[in-house]
Amino acid sequence: MKKSLKIVLILILFAVMLLPHTSVNATETITVKSQEEFEAALGNSTYTTIIIGESFTTDKKINITRDVTIDGNNKTITMQMEDNTIWNTNQAYVLQAYRVNTTIKNLSLTGANAALLVNGANVTLEGNINVSGNGFGGIELATNGGVVPKITFNNAKLTNDSEKYLKPTLWTAPINDENITINYGFAYDIKVEKSSGDVQRQYYLNKSNVPADEQAQEGIDKGKVEIEASSTDKITAETLNNLKNGPAKDVIIKTENATISFNTSNISEDFSGDLSLKIDITKEQPFDSNVLQDSTANLLFIDLAYSGILAKDTKITFSVADQYKAGDKVFLYYYNSGTDKLELVSEDITIDESGMATITIDHASTYLLSSTKIGENTNVVDENIINQVETAEENIENPNTSDITIFIVAMLVIIGIAGIAYAVRVNKTDK
C-alpha cells in the first residue's frame, strides 16, 4: 500500500513538472481608460506595458517613475487647465518621465504648459507623437541630479500644429549641447537666451516659425545664411548691416512665393530701413496709370513691398508656370512711378524647365514681365499725341458747318468773277 502511494505521488509530481511553467515576473499588459486607471497601472510593477484604451483627461501632471512601455494606441491625454500660457507647476506637463527608461508610442499629449518632460530619463518615442496645443511647447529635456536626459526617435513622426517662435517642439533646459544628441530631422535649431539668463537650445519642425531676423543673426558667423520665412516677415536694417560687416557672404531667403539671394558685400551703403520680404506676383496691374492701356502683351507684375536700394545684383526667383511656358523669353521692365514710364531692364529672361523666372535687380519697386517688347519709355505723355490724332479724326468726321459756308461763298465769288471775265472777253471778240 505504501509502495503504491509512493508511486502515485511520484507520478503526480512528474505531471506537475510537465505543466507549463508560469513566472511571477512574466510580461503583463493592461489597458486603461482614465487618469485613475493609468496612475494605478504605473504604480504596479507587474505591468510592463500599459495600453491607452480610450482618450481621457487629467487634472495634474502624471509621473512615470519606473521602467515601462506606454502604447498610446493613437489616443489623447488632455490636461484640464484654464490657461496653459501661464506656468503652473502641478499642470506644467501632461507626462513626466523621471530618471527611468521608458518607451512611448502613438500618443497625443495636449492642453498643458508642455507635453512631456524628460527629466534625467531615457525616453524612446515611436510612431505618431503629437504635442500640439501646449502653451510653452512640446518636449523639454532636463538634467536631474547630474543625470543627463536622453531621447531617441525610433521611426517616430512628430506633429506640432501650435509651434511658433519661443514655443518650440523640443527644447533643452540649460544643458551643455555636447551632451545631447537629437536623432530627429528638425528643420532648425537655435540658441535662445531667456530672461532668467539661462540659454536654451530650441528645435523647430518648421524653420519659418523662427523669425527671419533671428535666422540671419544666427548665420552671421557662418559662411552662408539660409533663411526660410513667411513673406510677412522682415530683416532689420541693423541685421543687414551686421551681415555686410560679417564673414558670411551669400544670403538666400526663401518665402512661400519667391527666393531672394544676394552677396553681403553688395549691400548698398545707401540701404535704409527694414527689408520687407513681401513680394506680390500678380496678373493685376498694381499701380494707377494708363501706361499699358494699349498693350496686348502677356503681362505679369512683380510688386515688392520694400521700395529703395537693394544689394547690387539681387536675384529674385519665382514661379511663372501659370503665365508662361518653359523656354519662353520674356522682357523685364521697371515701372518708374516718378516719371510714369516703363524702363527696359532686360530682354533676355528665359523661363526654365520648372516654370521659374529669375530676375536680377538693384532697386526694389514694381517690375513687370512682358511676352513682347513694349515701346521703350512708354508713358502717359504719349497720350497727348493720341489725343491730338483723335481730335483731328473727330474734326474730319464732324466738320464745322460755318467753315463750309464760307468756303462755298468764296467758291461762288470766284466762279462769278471768272464768268464775268469770260463774258467780257467773248464780247470783245465779237466786235
**Residue 129 CA neighbour count, 13 Å, CB half:** 26
- With 0-12 / 13-18 / 19 or more C-beta atoms within 10 angstroms meaning exposed / middle / buried, residue 367 is buried
Predicted local distance difference test score (pLDDT) of residue 173: 80
Predicted local distance difference test score (pLDDT) of residue 6: 54
Beta bridge partners of 145: none
CB contact at 8 A, 75 and 108: yes
Predicted local distance difference test score (pLDDT) of residue 270: 76
Instruction: Look up the pTM and report it.
Output: 0.74
User: Of 183, 66, 75, which Cα lies nearest the Cα of 128?
Assistant: 75
- With 0-12 / 13-18 / 19 or more C-beta atoms within 10 angstroms meaning exposed / middle / buried, residue 165 is middle
Q: Which residues contact 257 (CB under 8 A, 6 or more apart)?
A: 231, 279, 281, 318, 319
Q: Which alpha helices (H) appear in 348-400, and where do they start and end?
A: 382-397
Please report, as a single letter, which amino acid is at residue 429: T
Series of mean pLDDT values for 10-residue runs along the chain (431 residues): 51 47 61 98 96 98 98 98 95 97 98 97 98 98 90 97 97 74 93 81 95 90 86 92 88 95 88 89 93 88 91 95 95 94 94 96 93 65 37 46 51 56 48 45
Please report, as a single letter, which amino acid is at residue 229: A
Percent of the chain with pLDDT over 70: 80
pLDDT in tens, 143-200: 888 889 999 999 999 999 999 999 999 999 876 656 788 999 999 999 888 777 778 8
**Residue 255 CA neighbour count, 13 Å, CB half:** 21
Question: Measured between alpha carbons, how far is 284 from 71 in angstroms, rounded to an integer?
Answer: 54
User: Of 143, 183, 189, 141, which Cα lies nearest the Cα of 163?
Assistant: 189
Distances (CA, A) of 263 to 212, 246, 255, 363: 17, 12, 18, 15
User: Of 13, 19, 56, 24, which Cα lies nearest the Cα of 38?
Assistant: 56
CB atoms within 10 A of CB 230: 14
Give me the helix-helix angle, 212-219 and 237-245, nearest 10°.
Answer: 20
Sign of torsion, CA 390 392 394 397?
negative
Beta bridge partners of 343: 334
SS3 144: strand
Question: Measured between alpha carbons, how far is 316 from 310 in angstroms, rounded to an integer?
Answer: 12
pLDDT in tens, 328-346: 999 999 999 999 999 999 9
Q: Which three cell numbers stand for residue 84?
A: 496653459
Cα-only R_g, the chain: 41
Predicted local distance difference test score (pLDDT) of residue 20: 45
